[in-house]
Amino acid sequence: MKQALSGKALLKILVIDDHESVLGGTIEVLRRKYADAEFITAITAQQALNQVASMQPELVVMDLSLPESPGKIARPDTGVKLLRNLMKNYPNLNIVVQSAHVRTLVRLRPDIDVHKGGFTVADKSLSSQEMLTRVDWALQGLTHTKDIKGIHSGLEVKPEWLRVLTLAFEEGLTDKAIAERMCVGERMVRHYWSKLQDALDIYPEDGKNMRIQTEMRAREEGLID
């Protein structure tokens, strides 16, 4: 497994799209909120892999319909293959999928479920502000996959997520104490929270506490007493 990406003072964002006009437009939107960031680009899957390996960005914003290399035809399955590669080798990388082919992500559900970095989906029909919100969520390490039709066919909660709920809301433990009890790192506990909140359809809202919302929703679903 490749070394996890480390935090840096200067935010590095890799934008991947084979259409130069879309590539430029995406960077223009991102600059509105991340004016001091360093922007890196790639137009093929191979170039993207090289850029991640050499530049180690904190965030990747990518289309799915990509060519494997120059001169090749852009295909969604190429983007899916690239995404699987990135999640496998860079488990802490924050990712935003900005594409008109988000339905194809359903085949990556197992990979998305275990990915430790932020992972959000921004259909290309979304407004610029909505897209920036998804970017912000990804940088916070959150998961948002509700735009992927069929990925949530009924509520599925993993045992370790239920353990976090029990320790937090029935025993009143902090994340640090939960990590010690479960013999995992605090980062992993935050990862469990993100996956659980995505499954419960809970995302940041102004004026609302996500942990309280999670507890309320979990009780409604019968996950905790």
pLDDT digits (tens, 9 = 90+) for 11-51: 999 999 999 999 999 999 999 999 999 999 999 999 999 99
Task: Show the CA angle centred on residue 100, arms to residues 10 and 22, nearest 5°.
Answer: 50
Burial (CB < 10 A; 0-12, 13-18, 19+), residue 9, is exposed
- Strand, coil or helix: 40: strand
Q: Do the Cβ atoms of 225 and 170 come closer than 8 Å? A: yes
Residues 141 and 120: their CA atoms lie apart, in Å, by: 9
Q: Do the Cβ atoms of 189 and 196 come closer than 8 Å? A: no
Domains annotated on the chain, with CATH: 12-144 (3.40.50.2300), 159-220 (1.10.10)
- Strand, coil or helix: 86: helix
Q: What is the mean pLDDT of the chain?
A: 89
Contacts of residue 208, Cβ cutoff 8 Å, sequence gap at least 6: none
- Strand, coil or helix: 140: coil
Whole-prediction pTM: 0.79
- Strand, coil or helix: 69: coil
Residues 33 and 210: their CA atoms lie apart, in Å, by: 23
Compute CA 176 distance to the chain's CA centroid, rounded to the nearest angstrom.
23
pLDDT digits (tens, 9 = 90+) for 95-143: 999 988 887 887 788 899 899 999 999 888 889 999 999 999 999 999 9
